[in-house]
Structure formats: C-alpha cells, structure tokens
Amino acid sequence: MRIELAPADPAWPGMFANERDAIVGALGAAALRVEHVGSTSVPGLAAKPTIDIVLCVPDSTDEDAYVPALEAIGFVFLLREPDWFEHRLLRREPRRVNLHVFTDGCSEVAAMTGFRDWLRTHPDDLRYYEETKRRLAEHEWDVVQDYADAKTDVVREIQRRAGI
C-alpha cells in the first residue's frame, strides 16, 4: 500500500468545524473537549486527507455514554486500546474522519495538541516533518499504521525540542 499525501487544503479547518459541531450536537456536555489534530490541523502541511479529531469524555471506558450517540450520526466503532491510554477509535466515511476518544486529562491529548501547536509556529520543524512524511510515503506499507510508526523517531525528536 502506498500513502497518498495531498497538498494542504484550506477547506480542512472548515471540515473539522462541521464535524466538531456534529459531535457536540450528538453528545452535548459529554463532549468535554474536541480538538483538530494530525497533519490536516496544521496549515501548509501535506497530509493524508483524513480529518483526525480528539474527543475527550469523562471516561473513555464508559462506551455506552458516547458510542451509541456517535453511531447515530454515522460513526463506526473500530478499535479499543486499553493499553494505550484507554483510547477508542471511531471512523466516519465517506468524509474520512478518524475520531480518537480519550478520558479527559489524558497526557496523550496534551502531546497531540502540543505537537500540532509547535508545527504551526515553527516552520523549520514543519518542513522537516513534511520531508520525512514525503520520503516515507514513497515506500510500500502493509498497513497505514506501519507508515505512522515509521515517523515515530522524528515526531519524538520534534516533541523533545517543543518540550512535550
């Protein structure tokens, strides 16, 4: 499988805003935090054209409190990762949205949003990250997660510079 990177699209923030509104509309007060993360959240950064969203809820293990409402608006539950911050993953197609659910206060949310914010304000690291992504996208991958894992060392290096 090859990873297709799209040029940065100024429509991505608006797509996120529409998704955020739908999520908050479905969950109400249970949606404690909804953040646009991942490469589509960084202006000027090429990305797989998938909107990644972090949703913080009171308790991500209490799936009955949020999954049915999200399924009612078209999300499909895909993954439960109890060993990684009790992460849950839902997806909505054809809009290409990945919804990452964490318990409010989870340190991984701060890492994701901190990385995003750093890239938004540090053009040298933005270019370095994009060059890494483009180089890795030229390879064949068994699954998308292998591509994501291959970026880990560069992400950690940038996070160290950012103090994350």
Q: Is the pLDDT of residue 1 over 90?
A: no
Residue 69 lies in a domain: yes
What integer is the mean pLDDT of 112-128?
Answer: 98
* Structural domain boundaries, residue 50: 12-162
Q: Is residue 28 part of a domain?
A: yes
Tell me, yes or no, whether 57 lies in a domain: yes
Q: What is the pLDDT of residue 137?
A: 92
Residue 95 or 151, more confident: 151
Closest CA to 102 of 147, 151, 148, 53: 53
pTM attached to this predicted model: 0.94
Q: Region 84-105: what's the mean pLDDT?
A: 96
Q: Has residue 94 got a pLDDT over 90?
A: no
Q: What is the pLDDT of residue 59?
A: 98
What 8-state DSSP symbol labels residue 25?
H
Is residue 2, in this structure, part of any structural domain at all? no
pLDDT at 95: 81
Give the H/E segment covering residue 117. helix 107-121
Residue 152 lies in a domain: yes
The answer as to whether 7 is a domain residue is no
107 within 8 A of 114, measured Cβ to Cβ: no
Establish if 95 belongs to a structural domain.
yes
- Is the separation of the CB atoms in 119 and 158 below 8 Å? yes
pLDDT at 144 over 90: no
Residue 122 lies inside a defined structural domain of this protein: yes
Instruction: Tell me if 125 sits within 8 A of 118, measured CB to CB.
Output: yes
Q: What is the pLDDT of residue 99?
A: 98
Look at the chain and report how many structural domains it folds into. Answer: 1
* pLDDT digits 0-9 by tens, 46-79: 999 999 999 999 999 999 999 999 999 999 999 9
Q: State mean pLDDT over 76-101.
A: 96
CATH of the domain at 141: 3.30.460.10
